Amino acid sequence: MIKLPDTFIKKYRQLMGDEADDFLAALQGDSYSGFRINPLKNGRPTQTLEKAAGPVPGVATGFYGSVDGKSLDHVTGWVYSQEPSAMQVGEVVDPQPGEKVLDLCAAPGGKSTHLIGKMHDQGLLVANEIFTKRARVLASNLERWGTANTVVANEEPQKLVPKFAGFFDRILVDAPCSGEGMFRKDPQAISYWNPDYPSECANRQRKILASAMQMLKPGGVLVYSTCTFAPEEDEQNMAWLLKEYPDLRMLPIPLVDGMDHARPEWADNNPELAKAVRLFPHHFKGEGHFIAKLQLSTAAATTRPKRKKKKRRGQEPWQVSRDEQQLFKQWQTKNVPDFAERRLVKFGDQLYALPDQMIDLSGLDLISPGLHLGTFKKKRFEPALAWALTLTSSEVKRQIELTPDQWRQYVHGDVVNVSDSFAGNGWYLLTCEGHSCGWGKLVNHTIKNFFPKGLRF
Ligand SMILES: C[S@@+](CC[C@H](N)C(=O)[O-])C[C@H]1O[C@@H](n2cnc3c(N)ncnc32)[C@H](O)[C@@H]1O
pLDDT in tens, 202-233: 999 999 999 999 999 999 999 999 999 999 99
Q: What distance in Å separates the CA atoms of residue 338 and residue 322, rounded to the nearest whole number?
A: 21
Number of domains in the chain: 2
Residue 118 placed within a domain = yes
Pocket probe for ligand 1: among 82, 113, 128, 130, the residue whose CB has the most ligand atoms within 8 Å is 130
Is it the case that residue 354 has pLDDT exceeding 80?
yes
Q: What is the mean pLDDT of residues 11-35?
A: 96
Domain assignment of residue 407, given as a range: 393-455
Check whether 129 is labelled as a binding-site residue.
yes
129 pLDDT band, cuts 50/70/90, is: very high
Helix or strand (DSSP H, E) at 393: none
Complex ipTM over 0.90: yes
In 78-129, DSSP assigns E strands to: 79-81, 100-103, 124-128
Shared domain for 401 and 260, answered yes or no, is no
Q: What distance in Å separates the CA atoms of residue 272 and residue 269, rounded to the nearest whole number?
A: 9
Positive or negative: CA dihedral 134, 136, 138, 144 = negative
Q: What is the pLDDT of residue 315?
A: 52
Check whether 239 is labelled as a binding-site residue.
no
pLDDT tens track for 234-275: 999 999 999 999 999 999 999 999 999 999 999 999 999 999
Helix (H, G, I), strand (E, B), or coil: what is residue 407? Answer: helix
439: domain CATH number is 2.30.130.60
Q: What is the mean pLDDT of residues 436-454?
A: 93
Q: What is the mean pLDDT of residues 434-454?
A: 93
Shared domain for 283 and 402, answered yes or no, is no
Residue 420 dihedral angles phi and psi, to the nearest 5°? -70, 160
Residue 349 placed within a domain = no
Q: What is the pLDDT of residue 317?
A: 66
Residue 50 placed within a domain = yes
312: Cβ contacts below 8 Å, ≥ 6 apart: none
Farthest-apart Cα atoms in the chain, separation: 73
Q: What is the mean pLDDT of residues 401-417?
A: 95
Q: What distance in Å separates the CA atoms of residue 196 and residue 138, rounded to the nearest whole number?
A: 30
Distances (CA, A) of 147 to 114, 122, 326, 354, 427: 11, 9, 24, 11, 22
Shared domain for 145 and 261, answered yes or no, is yes
Q: Which of 279, 296, 313 is the last residue of a domain?
A: 296
Is it the case that residue 69 has pLDDT exceeding 90?
yes
16: domain CATH number is 3.40.50.150
Residue 260 placed within a domain = yes
Q: What is the pLDDT of residue 330?
A: 96
Pairing of strands 289-296, 216-226: antiparallel
Pairing of strands 426-432, 399-402: parallel
Residue 226 CA: nearest ligand 1 atom is: 1
Pairing of strands 62-64, 34-37: antiparallel
Question: What's the whole-number average pLDDT of the chain?
Answer: 94
pLDDT tens track for 92-112: 999 999 999 999 999 999 999
Report whether 210 contacts 76 (CB < 8 A).
no
36 pLDDT band, cuts 50/70/90, is: very high
Report whether 407 contacts 413 (CB < 8 A).
no
Q: What is the pLDDT of residue 305?
A: 58
Residue 312 placed within a domain = no
Q: What is the mean pLDDT of residues 394-420?
A: 93
The residue type at 50: E
Instruction: Name all residues whose Cβ lies below 6 A of ligand 1.
Output: 86, 105-111, 129-131, 134, 157, 174, 176, 204, 208
Nearest Cα neighbor of 164 from 358, 342, 355, 359 is 359
Report whether 208 contacts 104 (CB < 8 A).
yes
Residue 303 placed within a domain = no
Q: What distance in Å separates the CA atoms of residue 344 and residue 316, rounded to the nearest whole number?
A: 12
Is it the case that residue 300 has pLDDT exceeding 90?
no
pLDDT tens track for 158-180: 999 999 999 999 999 999 999 99
Shared domain for 280 and 399, answered yes or no, is no
Nearest Cα neighbor of 125 from 76, 167, 159, 92 is 167
Shared domain for 279 and 405, answered yes or no, is no
Q: What is the pLDDT of residue 308?
A: 58
Q: What distance in Å separates the CA atoms of residue 416 and residue 111, rounded to the nearest whole number?
A: 36
Is it the case that residue 27 has pLDDT exceeding 80?
yes
Q: Residue 268, Cα to own-chain centre: how many angstroms?
A: 33
Residue 177 CA: nearest ligand 1 atom is: 1
Is it the case that residue 413 has pLDDT exceeding 70?
yes
Q: What is the pLDDT of residue 359?
A: 79
The residue type at 138: L
Shared domain for 291 and 397, answered yes or no, is no
Residue 333 placed within a domain = no
The upper half-sphere exposure of residue 137, i.e. CA atoms within 13 Å in the direction of its Cβ, equals 11
Q: Which of 256, 276, 296 is the last residue of a domain?
A: 296
Lowest-confidence segment of 21-30, 124-133, 135-144, 351-360 by average pLDDT: 351-360
Check whether 110 is labelled as a binding-site residue.
yes
Shared domain for 190 and 56, answered yes or no, is yes
Closest C-alpha residue for ligand 1 atom 10? 176
Q: Which of 296, 315, 347 is the last residue of a domain?
A: 296
pLDDT tens track for 310-351: 555 555 668 999 999 999 999 999 999 999 989 999 999 999
Shared domain for 193 and 82, answered yes or no, is yes
Q: What is the mean pLDDT of residues 424-443?
A: 94
Q: What is the pLDDT of residue 311?
A: 54
30: Cβ contacts below 8 Å, ≥ 6 apart: 184
Q: What is the pLDDT of residue 189?
A: 87
Pocket probe for ligand 1: among 36, 81, 103, 105, the residue whose CB has the most ligand atoms within 8 Å is 105
Q: How many CB atoms lie within 10 A of CB 227?
A: 27
Q: How many CB atoms lie within 10 A of CB 162?
A: 15
Q: What distance in Å separates the CA atoms of residue 69 and residue 416, rounded to the nearest whole number?
A: 22
Residue 236 dihedral angles phi and psi, to the nearest 5°? -65, -35
Q: What is the pLDDT of residue 180?
A: 95
Closest C-alpha residue for ligand 1 atom 6? 106
Q: Is the pTM of this model over 0.90?
A: yes
What percent of the chain is predicted at pLDDT more than 90? 86
CA of 106 to the centre of ligand 1 (A): 6
Annotation marks residue 227 as catalytic: yes
Shared domain for 14 and 135, answered yes or no, is yes
Q: What is the pLDDT of residue 303?
A: 60
Check whether 34 is labelled as a binding-site residue.
no
CA of 349 to the centre of ligand 1 (A): 30
Residue 245 placed within a domain = yes
